[in-house]
Amino acid sequence: MGSKMSLFPSRIFYFLFLLLHSAHGDVSFSFPEEMKRGSVIGNLAKDLGLEASALSGRKARIDADGSGKRYCDLNVRNGELIVADRIDREGLCDDRASCVLKYEVVLENPLELHRINLHIQDVNDNAPLFKDDLIDLEIRESAVKGARFVIEEAHDADVGQNSVQQYLLKKNDNFVLSVSGNTVELVLDNELDREQKQDINLLLTAFDGGSPRRSGTAVIHVTVLDANDNSPVFSQAVYKGSLPENSPPNTIVINVSASDADEGVNGNVTYDFGHVTEHVKKLFSIDRKVGAIAVVGTVDYESSTSYELRVKAKDGLGLSSYAKVIISITDMNDNAPVINLKSLSNSVAENVSPGTEVGIINVQDRDSEKNGKVRCSIEQNVPFKLVPSIKNYYSLVTTGQLDRELVSDYNITISATDEGSPPLSSSKNVHLSVADINDNPPVFEEQSYSTYVSENNKAGSTLCSVSARDPDWRQNGTVIYSLLPSEVNSAPASSYISVNGDTGVIHAVRSFDYEHLRSFQVHVMARDNGSPPLSSNVSISVFILDVNDNSPQILYPAPEGNSFMTELVPKAAHAGSVVSKVIAVDADSGQNAWLSYHIVKSTDPGLFTIGLHSGEIRTQRDILESDSMKQNLIVAVKDNGQPPLSATCSMYLLISDNLAEVPELKDISYDDKNSKLTSYLIIALVSVSTFFLTFIIIVLGVRFCRRRKPRLLFDGAVAIPGAYLPPNYADVDGTGTLRSTYNYDAYLTTGSRTSDFKFVSSYNDNTLPAGQTLRKSPSDFDEMFGDAEGSTEV
Ligand SMILES: *[C@@H]1O[C@H](CO)[C@@H](O)[C@H](O)[C@H]1NC(C)=O
Ligand SMILES: *[C@@H]1O[C@H](CO)[C@@H](O)[C@H](O)[C@H]1NC(C)=O
Ligand SMILES: *[C@@H]1O[C@H](CO)[C@@H](O)[C@H](O)[C@H]1NC(C)=O
């Protein structure tokens, strides 16, 4: 028992689920015809167990089967079913006993279908009617008492109690009435006598059973004749025939025939319809002579599946009899399916999951059986399919992921084909647009950008532009550029460049200096305007190009106009000896820093040359006794830029083996006003010479001891001229290296008031210390070197 109990709830759930998804419970309403428009038939919501308030939300509506007219409406506010049009039972159902209108109530979300049957009750709004107001009857006077004469019955469009119920014959001398079922007969009660009364008028009234009851009358005009013994007799009481709908006019449906035993006029049978509706009269005709029933109108199975006709056979003298003809119409596949779009989403978001319902369609085929069985399909290759739902309903659902950026609109052709032979089909186009979702980040056209800009650019100049594409729609695809915060040379990147947010054009914010910053990298972000936005980054490398904006800078000899450096050249120097070197650097790079050296002026033009790129000053020939002791060179240093920049300097050379041999120096440095100096100078000279000699001895001693040691240090270093090295002040140490074969001395003067000489050092194992200069005022040197010029920049 415990197990049974546990099964129970799940079964209920299953049952409820069925009910919810497709409730098939029929709801029936019964009400009289001819109700006023707007009259309430019943409360549909209550009968279906639905909340009236949910009706409009679920798009509840009445759906007529086929193209039938809709006679009622649903008030979605309160769920009442109301009369929408005149309902005439006779017009709708003729004389069928039950008249039912069938509709469907459709609810969406979830799709639900309910059938409703409206039983239209008859109201006695039609009176009985005889086919003719005047019925002619010819009766032989020889007719015996009890003879019966069939009178065509009256007809009432109403049904049931409201149809003809009773006949009444006005009292007369000869006839009484006999009614049994449909047959109305006059029964001769009192024999006729033509000689006495040739014409008799009888009043026949037919009553229906309605309340109040209605009636119709006919006058039976009886002409009393001589003799006609036999009525025509049909070969069958009921004739049955079948006819395919849409048969062409004049197609014979059936032949009826009656025979009359009488001869001559009395046996001459003519045929006619008995009581038939106007509608039938338009569809069929009967050949009066041969009794062939033929089609004259268009027979439509969908309007009526069968017809029942009464046929009358009458002999020449008015005796008649009746028979019934039942014509059943067979269905032909003459109605193509009709596709109705019941509901369709305006647009479908591209991120909906596969299987989402986007629309509901309904297919109708008015034909029956196979001719009305419809198959629905989508033939295109689209990510949608039709899922059969309730009865003739299909849900249009997505089958895959949509992507608006690939396909933004779908034009779906739904086709429906019935199973008739030949089958009929129809199709309908459904247009669906895909709504955008911000699912694509902007993508830069390049993986990274680089740009080259010459230094000294104007602030605000355009460097380059970046561009990113975003295929999304409108603001989801609108790209905005911005510079990502970062640092360049420990300053914010935004102080170097800026990005135009709309165009992606990148501008320099300041002028760049190649000598300070050769390249830098920033990141630019492209962001779309969606919410949330999507973005991507790209790196931009800015390379600054050198411009020849720095003149060569002469480090040695000191270029300042008011200081001099004097090189001592030994008298024994041979041709090709290096006696000095001009050392210059250039802050630019490449060609802009490739320096060349030229002697532009010299005391003795044949004595010294300068290495074009090394700056080494060599003797061109051996020194002669006749050569002037004081030699002055003006050297120009030029870079290789476009246009080139240059600098010049003066170099003073003193041909002497010993400073002591230069008495003129005393004169040069002598200051009349300060006689103390002379004695200082002599002391200094003596001590320097002593120190120098001691130093030479020590050095020679050390060298002698280390004879085997290679002297790579100098040879290797001098092989690289300074101008070929990158313009870096640190390289001065290397370029300043002098050849060891010449241990020459520099006499550096300082421009101090107390003029003195300082012997600095012998450079045989290292560099020229730039700082240890001996300064002397230019005027003193002018005295010494005559027309010597100070260092000048050109
Ligand atoms: C959809 O396709 C049909 C036929 O392929 C065409 O007639 C119709 O114009 C199209 N509709 C749209 C909106 O593209
Ligand atoms: C952009 O995408 C969002 C979702 O990401 C969507 O809601 C919105 O409608 C889209 N905008 C447009 C203009 O399509
Ligand atoms: C862009 O760069 C920022 C900062 O470097 C980083 O946080 C972000 O994740 C990057 N975004 C993308 C899409 O690469």
Q: What are phi and psi of 472, to 5 degrees?
A: -70, 175
Q: Give residue-wise pLDDT tens across range 255-290.
A: 999 988 777 777 788 999 988 888 888 999 999 999
Residue with the smallest CA separation from ligand 2 atom 6 is: 437
Q: What is the token pair recorded at 399?
A: 């089958």
pTM summary value: 0.57
The 10 Å Cβ neighbour count of residue 201 is 11
> What's the DSSP call for residue 417?
E
| β-sheet bridge partners, residue 654 | 568, 630
- For 145-158, letters b (16+ CB in 10 Å) and e give eebebbbbbbbbbb
Distance from C-alpha of 599 to C-alpha of 634, rounded to nearest angstrom? 6
Q: What are phi and psi of 676, to 5 degrees?
A: -60, -35
- Ligand 1 atom with least separation from CA of 431: 13
Higher pLDDT, 716 or 154: 154
Cβ atoms of residues 440 and 534 within 8 Å: yes
How many angstroms separate the alpha carbon of residue 525 from the centre of ligand 3?
A: 8
Q: With CA atoms as reference, report the closest residue to 298 among 263, 256, 247, 346.
A: 247
Ligand 1 near 117 CB (within 6 A): no
Distance from C-alpha of 469 to C-alpha of 526, rounded to nearest angstrom? 9
- For 533-567, letters b (16+ CB in 10 Å) and e give ebbbebebebebebbbbbbbbbbbbbbeeebbbbb
Q: Give residue-wise pLDDT tens across range 456-489.
A: 999 999 999 999 999 999 999 999 999 999 999 8
Distance from C-alpha of 766 to C-alpha of 778, rounded to nearest angstrom? 29
How many angstroms separate the alpha carbon of residue 429 from the centre of ligand 1?
A: 7
The pLDDT confidence band at residue 711, using thresholds 50, 70 and 90, is very low
Lining ligand 3 with CB less than 6 A are 484, 523, 525, 535-537
Q: Measured between alpha carbons, how far is residue 710 from residues 41, 515, 714 in Å? A: 126, 39, 10
- Strands 630-638 and 443-444, by their bridges, are unpaired
Distance from C-alpha of 411 to C-alpha of 425, rounded to nearest angstrom? 19
Distance from C-alpha of 175 to C-alpha of 187, rounded to nearest angstrom? 6
Q: Which ligand is nearest to the CA of 473?
A: 2
Q: SS3 letters for 552-575?
A: CEEEECCCCCCCCEEEEECCCCCC
Q: Would you mind telling me the total number of residues written for the chain in this entry?
A: 794
Q: Average the pLDDT over 372-388 and give the result.
A: 92
pLDDT of 549 > 50? The answer is: yes
Lowest mean pLDDT among 22-31, 345-354, 483-492: 22-31
Ligand 2 near 476 CB (within 6 A): yes
Q: Which ligand is nearest to the CA of 527?
A: 3
Residue with the smallest CA separation from ligand 2 atom 8 is: 437
What's residue 559's pLDDT? 62
| β-sheet bridge partners, residue 655 | 569
Burial of 633 (0-12, 13-18, 19+ CB in 10 A): buried
How many angstroms separate the alpha carbon of residue 448 from the centre of ligand 2?
A: 29
- Strands 320-330 and 238-244, by their bridges, are parallel
Q: Which of 525, 528, 539 to mutate to test the pocket of ligand 3 (most atoms within 8 A of CB)?
A: 525
Ligand 1 near 429 CB (within 6 A): yes
How many angstroms separate the alpha carbon of residue 382 from the centre of ligand 1?
A: 14
Q: Which of 438, 470, 528 to mutate to test the pocket of ligand 2 (most atoms within 8 A of CB)?
A: 438
What's residue 540's pLDDT? 96
Q: Which ligand is nearest to the CA of 441?
A: 3
Residue with the smallest CA separation from ligand 3 atom 12 is: 536
Q: Average the pLDDT over 239-253 and give the result.
A: 93
Q: What is the token pair recorded at 297?
A: 């109108």
Ligand 2 near 440 CB (within 6 A): no
Q: Give residue-wise pLDDT tens across range 169-207.
A: 999 888 999 998 888 888 998 888 777 888 889 999 999
180 contact partners, CB below 8 Å, separation of at least 6:
none
Q: Give residue-wise pLDDT tens across range 524-541.
A: 999 999 989 999 999 999
- Ligand 2 atom with least separation from CA of 532: 5
pLDDT of 435 > 90? The answer is: yes
The pLDDT confidence band at residue 734, using thresholds 50, 70 and 90, is very low
